[in-house]
Amino acid sequence: MANLRFYTHSPLALGASVLLSESAAAHATRALRLSVGDDAILFNGDGVNYNCTLTEIKKNSVTAMVNGATAVHNESPLNITLVQAISSGDRMDFTIQKAVELGVKSIQPISSKRSVVKLSGERAEKRTEHWQNIAISACEQSGRAYVPKVLTPISLEQWLGNNPAANNTRILLNPIGAVRLNEIAKPTGEIQLLIGAEGGLSQEEIDLATAHNFQSIVLGPRILRTETAALTAIAAMQLAWGDF
């Protein structure tokens, strides 16, 4: 059972007694049927797996004792920020989950002219929390011990204004782009990958991104769905420059 991993917001150290979150406790007891004395792994995003033993199980709570710690070295050498136009239905959830599994460092949801879903205020905050929990679950599954941050949604214009081009590589997927990924030099800094929503980015948005040093690239002769485009691009970058 030592390969079972649970995320916690709590500080972790050898000898610490940790109360699992309500959702983790429910998963441990109801789904996995764990018992007192069973082993598991806790992590809180600091890059370390903490070995623990379950010491107390009550109706709605589980307590674990930390008895070991191991640094995790499975982060991608690439510093990828996915700038993803918000897609509808479960597409955005799927994109975030798989992007985390593929090794992105952060995710910036953006609203674009062709985004079907428009978020603001409390609704945006709740959706961001939901997406962050998806990222955490993806880390539990994939073995990552650092948790990518899912940022609050903003417009593409706002994001470009807040993030001036520096020593980073900016890539925009464009089905009519003229450059292929293998024609780009291996990045040495952050990679910012911009993906449109279901209808893609408008020409105005493409022009705006290009004016902010984004380079249009094409991934083959076929038009990809938004979730396919993001994940294919990340996987291709990991294969070309990362740890695939």
Write out the DSSP string of 135-148.
HHHHHHHHT-SS--
Instruction: Write out the residue range of the structural domain in which residue 194 sits.
Output: 80-241
Are 116 and 218 within one domain?
A: yes
Are 42 and 128 within one domain?
A: no
pTM for the model stands at 0.92
146-181 pLDDT, tens digit per residue, is: 999 999 999 999 999 998 888 899 999 998 888 999
Tell me, what's the pLDDT at 29?
85
Q: What's the number of domains the chain is made of? A: 2
Q: Which residues does the chain have with pLDDT short of 50?
A: 1-2
Amino acid at 67: N
- Kindly provide the b/e burial profile for residues 3-35, where b requires at least 16 CB atoms within 10 angstroms of the residue's own CB: eebbbbeeebeeeeebebbeebbebbbeeeebe
Are 87 and 62 within one domain?
A: no
183-193 pLDDT, tens digit per residue, is: 999 999 999 99
